[in-house]
Amino acid sequence: MENPVETPVEKPGIQPLPDGPLAFEAFQPGQTWRSSTVLLRPEMIRRFAALTGDHNPIHLDPDFAARTLHRGVIAHGLLISSLAAGMAYDIGLLGPNILALERSESVYRRAARPGDRLYGTVEILSTDPRAGRRVGRVTWDTRVLQEREAGDREVCRVVWTTLVFKEAFLPRPAAAE
């Protein structure tokens, strides 16, 4: 994850960070993790626009954006959804343990702006061992929040359904020689 600015704060109900990829059997409904905080920088928005081809001036032109309902530049919604995935990866939840993303559904609650301090939470909603012999299905509730002195606010909620390798089939790194 780019630009972490602090480590997560231990809170009641928040799981410790995993030491390595978690197999399907390690996930239980209700488990919750918190990511590090990321500072949303203007260059992140510019690079996302260049990568995706989405050059809407609401994301790139401060003069134009100042005259809109948002009254300033905002990040792409899909950038925020992508940050959610990066935050889950940094926590150690996504990686070689994931065979596939079956479904992703995003709801955007409010705009994120350059200078916002964002962090993610991930909660396991459900698990289903019947997805296959080698994998189980895990549904994740991932949220990106703005850190604010007046109280944190949700920017985006992303619900993923993934296929996660079971312990016996979890890919392992090659042994060092």
- The model's pLDDT over 99-152, given as tens digits with 9 standing for 90+, comes to 999 999 999 999 999 999 999 999 999 999 999 999 999 999 999 999 999 999
Domain assignment present for 28? yes
Among candidates 163, 150, 98, 89, which has minimal Cα distance to 122? 89
**pTM (2 d.p.):** 0.86
Domain CATH code at residue 93? 3.10.129.10
Q: Give me 15's structure tokens.
A: 């799981």
Q: Which domain holds residue 51?
A: 9-167
Residue 172 lies in a domain: no
* Both structure tokens of 149: 């002195």
Nearest to 163 by CA among 145, 140, 138, 126: 138
Report d(CA 152, CA 150) in Å as an integer: 7
Our count of domains for the chain comes to: 1
Which whole number is the average pLDDT over 154-159?
98
Does a structural domain hold residue 16? yes
Q: What pLDDT shows up at residue 7?
A: 37
Instruction: Tell me, yes or no, whether 175 lies in a domain.
Output: no
Q: Rounded CA gap, 135 and 23, in Å?
A: 9
pLDDT tens by residue, 72-90: 999 999 999 999 999 999 9
